[in-house]
């Protein structure tokens, strides 16, 4: 089953079981997917490819993370909790993320391959590592490891 069809099926299931918050999050996600489909003018296709849908889900998840931090700064824990619950729903559709050990291993390998010895090669190293991981790791996690490895 394609990812888009899985999301739609789970929306129907959430509606039938009365899970209003999950249904709302999935409706919003389906809307974002359709908007992306319109943006890239892929109207001839019934659904986007799974990779494109994952990219949309990642953007939605990042927006939720940003909202959580802003709500917490503003003292709105109620809204922050709601965003955290929606983020958890979205993360169910994302591929498993690489752990810090795997990221560190790739960073060390790429650092040696590129001959980077100091912080001036940060951008090249980040680009090489992100290309290697291709969505398997959060950019912030990769940045943290790269900064640690470069000193």
Tell me: do 12 and 74 sit in the same domain.
yes
Q: What is the pLDDT of residue 100?
A: 85
Tell me: do 68 and 120 sit in the same domain.
no
Contact 84, 68 (CB under 8 A): yes
Tell me: do 128 and 85 sit in the same domain.
no
Contact 116, 138 (CB under 8 A): no
Task: Give the contacts of 64 (CB within 8 A, at least 6 positions apart).
Answer: 83, 84, 86, 87, 90
Tell me: do 67 and 105 sit in the same domain.
no
pLDDT in tens, 102-136: 888 888 898 888 888 888 888 888 888 888 887 77
CATH code of the domain covering residue 107: 1.10.10.410
Q: What is the pTM of this model?
A: 0.71
Tell me: do 41 and 85 sit in the same domain.
yes
Q: Which domain holds residue 30?
A: 3-91
Tell me: do 66 and 130 sit in the same domain.
no
Which of 91, 113, 128 is the C-terminal boundary of a domain? 91
Tell me: do 12 and 46 sit in the same domain.
yes
Tell me: do 86 and 104 sit in the same domain.
no
How many domains are there within the chain?
A: 2
Tell me: do 39 and 59 sit in the same domain.
yes
Estimate to the nearest angstrom the gap between the alpha carbon of 42 and the chain centroid. 22
Tell me: do 20 and 43 sit in the same domain.
yes
pLDDT in tens, 18-40: 999 999 999 999 999 888 888 87
């Amino acid at each position: 089953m394609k990812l888009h069809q899985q999301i739609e099926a789970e929306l129907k299931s959430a509606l039938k079981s009365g899970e209003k918050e999950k249904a709302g999050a999935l409706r919003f996600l389906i809307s974002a997917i359709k908007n992306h489909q319109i943006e890239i003018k892929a109207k001839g296709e019934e659904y986007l490819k799974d990779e494109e849908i994952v990219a949309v889900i990642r953007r939605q998840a990042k927006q939720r993370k940003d909202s959580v931090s802003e709500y917490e700064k503003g003292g709105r824990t109620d809204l922050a909790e709601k965003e955290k619950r929606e983020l958890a729903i979205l993360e169910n559709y994302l591929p498993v993320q690489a752990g810090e050990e795997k990221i560190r291993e790739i960073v060390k390998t790429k650092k040696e391959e590129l001959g980077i010895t100091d912080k001036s090669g940060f951008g090249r190293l980040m680009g090489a590592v992100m290309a290697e991981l291709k969505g398997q790791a959060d950019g912030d996690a990769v940045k943290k490891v790269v900064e640690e490895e470069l000193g």
